[in-house]
Amino acid sequence: MLALKRERTNQRANQVVQWAKLRKGKRANRKVLSLRTYKWKRKLGLCGRSRWAVQVGKVIFAVLILAGCAVAFTGCTPTVSMESDMQNVEQRDYATILLVSQGERDEDYKFSLGIAQEKKKGEGSQKEEVATFLADDLEELYEEYWKVKGKSLSLVHLKVVLISDRQVMSQENFWDFIEDLDENRDIAKTCPVVQIQDEESFVKYMENAKEPVGAYLENLVKINEKEGSPIPKVKDYLKVMREGSDLQEYYLEKTEEGFVLKSTIINL
């Protein structure tokens, strides 16, 4: 009898120990879950809110998840369009001309921009405002423009890209900039690329012009192409860079009446 009672007592003691361990484990799990819930609520800004507010937050979170899934399945990437929609036109400047030359001091490039002016009702198009910046690449150009002008710079309406010829700009900087054009999301691969020998004269021409120079260069390119002289585009320079093929490129030359486009052949 005593042996049987001892066995039952030991069994009950073991059950108590096992139950205590199980309860302790469950309590630990609850602490982990509570910590996760707290972190989740803190990210959503729901700490200290009522239960109703938490439920609303959950609904909003679920809607955002569903929206993200919908975008993923449709393959759309609305980042650029959302940025475009959120930014007011008055907070953005549009460049029609981008002139790139050898940099000064520690910067790789000097960028001269022809910024389109707002056309008021009943008025003709105004000449571009000229702005010059020093930067190592286009990304830094965006940043510098924002710092100085307090507006975002857009290159989506570029009529032409003008680059110093390789007698002035180093080969490394020249082709690094061509690669930068490839990575830029604003500049179209069909944008004409023309070399220029006298940047200072062209900048002065822009400053003293009475009509938009971007439109003038755009017409100049169209006239040459109608006459059977295709002006190279960004995509053509990228092909040269990747394949090492020949390219008939054009450079802008000043005349007494304005500018003309002349061609030459490069062989890498």
Give the pLDDT band (50/70/90) at residue 15: low
Q: Where are the domains of the chain?
A: 49-86, 88-266
Model confidence at 251: pLDDT above 70: yes
Give the pLDDT band (50/70/90) at residue 91: confident
**Gap between the Cα atoms of 209 and 127, Å rounded:** 7
> Which range has highest mean pLDDT (32-36, 41-45, 122-126)?
122-126
Burial 155-193 (b: 16+ CB within 10 A, else e): beebbbbbbbbeebbeeebbbebbebbeebebbeeebbb
pLDDT at 105: 81
Give the pLDDT band (50/70/90) at residue 169: confident
DSSP state of 95: E
Each residue's pLDDT tens digit, 109-160: 999 999 998 776 556 678 899 999 999 999 999 999 999 999 999 999 999 9
Answer yes or no: are the C-beta atoms of 103 and 134 closer than 8 Å: yes
Give the H or E element holding residue 193: strand 193-196
